[in-house]
Amino acid sequence: MFKINENYLKLPGSYLFSTIAKKVSAYTEANPGSDIIRLGIGDVTQPLAPAVISAMHKAVDEMSDAATFHGYAPDLGYAFLRDAIAAHDYKARGCEISSDEIFVSDGAKSDSANIQEIFGQENRIAVCDPVYPVYVDSNVMSGRTGEYHPETETWSNVIYMPCTMENHFVPEFPKETPDLIYLCLPNNPTGTTITKPKLQEWVDYANKIGAVIIYDAAYEAYISEPDVAHSIYECEGARTCAIELKSFSKNAGFTGVRLGYTVVPKDLACGEVSLHDLWARRHGTKFNGAPYIVQKAGEAVYSKEGKQQLKEQVAYYMKNASAIKAGLQDAGYTVFGGVNAPYIWLKTPQGMTSWAFFDYLLEQANVVGTPGSGFGPSGEGYFRLTAFGSYENTLRALERIKKL
Amino acid sequence: MFKINENYLKLPGSYLFSTIAKKVSAYTEANPGSDIIRLGIGDVTQPLAPAVISAMHKAVDEMSDAATFHGYAPDLGYAFLRDAIAAHDYKARGCEISSDEIFVSDGAKSDSANIQEIFGQENRIAVCDPVYPVYVDSNVMSGRTGEYHPETETWSNVIYMPCTMENHFVPEFPKETPDLIYLCLPNNPTGTTITKPKLQEWVDYANKIGAVIIYDAAYEAYISEPDVAHSIYECEGARTCAIELKSFSKNAGFTGVRLGYTVVPKDLACGEVSLHDLWARRHGTKFNGAPYIVQKAGEAVYSKEGKQQLKEQVAYYMKNASAIKAGLQDAGYTVFGGVNAPYIWLKTPQGMTSWAFFDYLLEQANVVGTPGSGFGPSGEGYFRLTAFGSYENTLRALERIKKL
């Protein structure tokens, strides 16, 4: 008789954003006609940039003619896209990353969930707390996290690095020694980040203890301050300790287009074994490439027109972020983030729990946000709003919140 | 110090089709200007159908306007596509499969590699031999296959079901009891299949021993004989023992578009635990949906025009299959398949090994095929040609082979 993967049964509840979707849909069914404003899940609302649209139409046309049709993509992704990434995201910033260290994928969510597969079962992971749920959940599914303690909402074999008001949301080196360190900077959910010298300390620490940093740079495009690194490879020594994950979801609005990439430098090895080779093997065996049309869309992101149009799109969302931050401060809230990231992280008022504030905001203002506790125990008492709504809806949501 | 997943090191060599690509590219570098005809990897060559192209252009336009823009897709896929699949692929064939038992994905390769994750480590897998390499390799990576014996090219903990000329390529119930049974029908690589009554025997067997059949129906569209099932759910009792994987790659030419789906019936359970819930949890945590544009392309496959156009496309490839089969028989080869599948499986001449015949065909005829031994030890002495070339190239390849 077949057996299931028992690790799945250890997962408490459902995936955070599925739970939110279900709660909102239950509310709208009970209250038909209610005018919900969604600032919860980090989904974008602005249309794709004209340069991207035009590249996609062209690619669709190519698929209609046998002479220009494209079947299976190369394992690592098309050279036209990997070369554009290497030039614009790395060489232009002085980072030494070559095209063949870049693996094109269907998005950073899949990559951040799958990357743990190339590591042994016995590795201990360290995560910021609060954190994007996929890092921990994917390790739970593969049996690396020990037992769940419901009273503390923690896993026995996970090293938590609390990020709270008290330490200005900057993780500290843990007391126990981790093997894999997940860092998402600028941070989801807190919207905060760390300076480049601070990131250099993490790279030095990882090299010293022999750990790998899994660096999620999905929100890099939102960095506005000069002393913040856009890639971990701006730090010296990162090629021997860091894997970087990048997404096109937030810088180019590709949440429904699906494109991302992962960088595994060839210098990253465990003894004689190159992690680059292992990830290449996983990519070749368990994945079949991102669609040609989508890779052409990704190439257009790096065109002159694409870059200009997307700079404006990022500015549009960051105008929302500023409006949310200022509006909430006016209304007496304690607010963080929103300067180098499209997320606003607020302290819930009057000691409300995160989920109590979620319900309160949904029912009283018809505004959907994300409960901080959904990202980990240290997120309790916090709440995330995103800047990805339309400007009009963002202002309307703020008016409603101010009236509460 | 971090550790790697040691199971990866057990994998012999690289992924089959990566090896072939490297060999061909080495040959063309050494022999510039050589006119290679590729009948190796199962990649299609005909352009996308007009109905699909038109749906994709429309979807791209929707993405260019905030009012019709689509961000993150629903976890299981868009209802428009799941409903179309349920109606056309199941209800129309008398199979009782509902929309919410269908999980839309980026292709059957990913699904066939990922499906093992929801099962326990202790499950024993049974595979046909020869077999699509992904089934075994994905289980090797997760540590389920025991040790590799290079002398027999087998894994100690895998149950092999030889499919050779002797048993007409029809797998027999194994002597040992498996927990997971991979069946690909019509078969890749042999191009053969089994009758519906025979498939019913497999369903009865799986229900009796408490095994799950992972049924890869990627080549279903090529079935031409009436007594062959198009879905395993045509068999009684399949809802309690079978997971079905489907691809849009071969019936609609989506190898570079990336779309597939997996059916996990709600009746399939291990005690109280529903496999449907486990797969839903995996989908929600480790995947973020197929692109909206691609799902709209998939919907168009089921439109009246799309169905007609794709029927013609399948007929085009099957005309190639018939030509290859007849041509090789004329040339004195012993040939199988090509009636219910786009693959021709031939016995290598004069006792040549599969790889020796690969090199011979590449060097003497500039034709690329796939060595049978790459699919498993019982594939040694066989060779696969695909019908996915253009008709013109297929005829040219045959002329060259006949001249050898």
- Overall average pLDDT of the A128-138 stretch: 96
Note the pLDDT of residue A35: 96
A256 phi, psi to nearest 5 deg: -100, 5
CB within 8 Å of chain B, chain A residues 188-247: 209-212
Domain identity same for B227 and B296: yes
Q: Is A69 on the interface with B (CB under 8 A)?
A: yes
Residues from chain B contacting residue A58 (CB–CB below 8 Å): none
Q: How far apart are CA B295 and CA A291, in angstroms?
A: 12
Scan residues 319-378 of B and list those with Cβ closer than 8 Å to A: none
Q: Look at residue B358 in the predicted model and tell me its pLDDT.
A: 97
Last residue of a domain, one of B261, B286, B303: B303
Check whether residue A240 and residue A386 sit in a common domain. Answer: no
Whether A214 is covered by a domain: the verdict is yes
> Residue A209: its chain B contacts at CB < 8 A?
1
Judged by a CB distance cut-off of 8 A, whether residue B291 touches chain A is: yes
Outline where DSSP puts E strands in A35-193. 37-38, 102-105, 125-129, 148-149, 154-155, 158-162, 180-184
**pLDDT confidence of A12, banded at 50, 70, 90?**
confident
Q: Decide: helix, strand or coil at residue A388.
A: coil
Give B133→chain A minimum CA distance, Å: 8
Separation of alpha carbons A180 and A119, rounded Å = 9
Residues B199 and B298 in one domain: yes
- The mean per-residue pLDDT over the stretch B97-121 comes to 98
The pLDDT tens digits for A306-362 are 999 999 999 999 999 999 999 999 999 999 999 999 999 999 999 999 999 999 999
B243-271 per-position pLDDT tens digit: 999 999 999 999 999 999 999 999 999 99
User: Do residue A255 and residue B71 have CB atoms under 8 angstroms apart?
Assistant: yes
In tens, the pLDDT along A184-213 reads 999 999 999 999 999 999 999 999 999 999
- What is the pLDDT, as a whole number, of residue B109? 97
Q: Inter-chain contact B72–A5, Cβ cutoff 8 Å?
A: no
Any A CB within 8 A of B286 CB: yes
pLDDT computed for residue A2 by the predictor: 97
Is A162 inside a domain boundary?
yes
Give residue B19's pLDDT.
86
Interface touch A119/B291, C-beta < 8 Å: no
Q: Are A228 and A288 in a shared domain?
A: yes
Nearest to B256 among A9, A71, A123 (CB): A71
The distance from CA B99 to its chain's CA centroid, rounded to whole angstroms, is: 22
pLDDT bucket at B230, cuts 50 / 70 / 90: very high
Inform me whether the C-beta atom of residue B47 falls under 8 Å from chain A C-beta atoms: yes
Rounded to an integer, the average pLDDT of A148-168 is 96
Q: Does residue A41 carry a pLDDT above 90?
A: no
How many contacts does A have with B, using Cβ atoms within 8 A?
Answer: 245
B12 pLDDT band, cuts 50/70/90, is confident
A271 and A125 fall within a common domain: yes
Task: Tell me the mean pLDDT in the region A11-16.
Answer: 78
Least CB-CB distance to B69: which of A18, A47, A118?
A47
> How many residues belong to chain A?
404
The pLDDT score that the predictor gives to residue B40 is 87
Closest among B102, B34, B125, B89 to B243, alpha carbons compared: B102
Does residue B361 lie within any of the structural domains?
Answer: yes
- Cβ <8 Å between B292 and A257: yes
The Cα B380–Cα B55 span in angstroms is: 44
Residue A14 has pLDDT above 80, yes or no: no
* CB of A44 less than 8 A from some CB of B: yes
Instruction: For residues B28-37, give the mean pLDDT.
Output: 95
The reported pLDDT for the residue numbered A18 is: 80
CB contact under 8 A, A71 and B43: yes
Predicted pLDDT at B13: 74
Q: Is the pLDDT of residue A47 over 90?
A: yes
Quote the CA–CA distance of A10 and B312 in Å, as a whole number.
49
User: Hey, is the C-beta of A104 within 8 angstroms of any chain B C-beta?
Assistant: no
Among A279, A260, A281, which residue's Cα sits nearest to residue A269? A279
Q: Is residue B75 part of a domain?
A: yes
The mean per-residue pLDDT over the stretch B220-229 comes to 98
Residue B15 scores a pLDDT above 90: no
Judgement on whether residues B316 and B237 belong to the same structural domain of the protein: no
Q: Which of A6, A65, A285 sits opposite B137 (nearest CB)?
A: A285
Choose the final residue of a domain: A267, A292, A317.
A292
What percent of chain A shows pLDDT beyond 70? 100
For residue B1, is it within any domain? no
The pTM for the full model equals 0.96
Give pLDDT tens digits for A214-232. 999 999 999 999 999 999 9
Beta strand residue intervals within B293-375, DSSP E? 335-337, 343-347, 367-368, 370-371
B180: number of CA atoms within 13 Å, CB side?
28
For A124, which residue in chain B has the nearest alpha carbon? B2
Q: Are both B284 and B152 inside the same structural domain? A: yes
Q: Compare CB distances from B8 to A75, A118, A211 and report the shortest one's residue.
A: A118
- Average pLDDT value for residue range A360-375: 96
Q: Using an 8 Å Cβ cutoff, are A257 and B293 in contact?
A: yes
Contacts of B83 (CB under 8 A, 6+ apart): B99
| Residue A368 burial (CB count, 10 A) | 22
pLDDT attached to residue A325: 97
Check whether A15 has a pLDDT greater than 90.
no
Q: Does B46 touch chain A (CB under 8 A)?
A: yes
Residues B241 and B314 in one domain: no
Tell whether A272 is within 8 A of chain B (Cβ). no
3-class DSSP state of B175: coil
Residue B25 counted as domain residue: yes
Mean pLDDT rounded to a whole number for chain B? 96
**Same domain membership, residue B364 and residue B243:** no
User: Do B251 and B143 share a structural domain?
Assistant: yes
Q: Is residue A63 part of a domain?
A: no
Q: Residues B85, B151: one domain?
A: yes
For residue A92, name the pLDDT band (cuts at 50, 70, 90).
very high
List C-alpha distances in Å: A370 to A323, A363, A376, A399. Answer: 18, 14, 12, 19
Letter string b/e over residues A93-105, b meaning 16 or more CB atoms within 10 A of that residue's CB: eebebebebbbbb
CA distance A77 to chain B (A): 11
> pLDDT-derived band of residue A249, with 50, 70 and 90 as boundaries?
very high
Nearest CA of chain A to the CA of B237: how many Å? 16
Q: What is the pLDDT of residues B332-388, one digit of tens each?
A: 999 999 999 999 999 999 999 999 999 999 999 999 999 999 999 999 999 999 999
Closest-CA distance of chain B to residue A141, Å: 8
Provide the shortest C-alpha distance from residue B21 to chain A (in Å).
10
Question: Region B50-70: what's the mean pLDDT?
Answer: 98
Q: Do A258 and B290 touch (CB under 8 A)?
A: yes
Q: Do B165 and B218 have their domain in common?
A: yes
What is the reported pLDDT for A175? 97
Predicted confidence band of residue A42 (pLDDT cuts 50, 70, 90): confident
SS (H, E, C) B53-110: HHHHHHHHHHCCCCCCCCCCCCCCCCHHHHHHHHHHHHHHHCCCCCHHHEEEECCHHH
B74: in domain:
yes
Cis peptide before A74 (omega within 30 of 0): no
Give the CATH number for residue B262: 3.40.640.10
Q: How many domains is chain A partitioned into structurally?
A: 2
For all residues of chain A together, what is the average pLDDT? 96
Is B30 at the interface with chain A, CB within 8 A? Answer: no
Residue for token digits 């020694």? A177
Rounded to a whole number, what is the distance in Å from the CA of B349 to chain A's nearest CA? Answer: 31
Query: CATH code at B341?
Result: 3.90.1150.10
Selection from B72, B15, B69, B8 nearest residue B283 by Cα: B72
For residue B161, what are the domain limits? 53-303
Which of A265, A292, A319 is at the close of a domain? A292
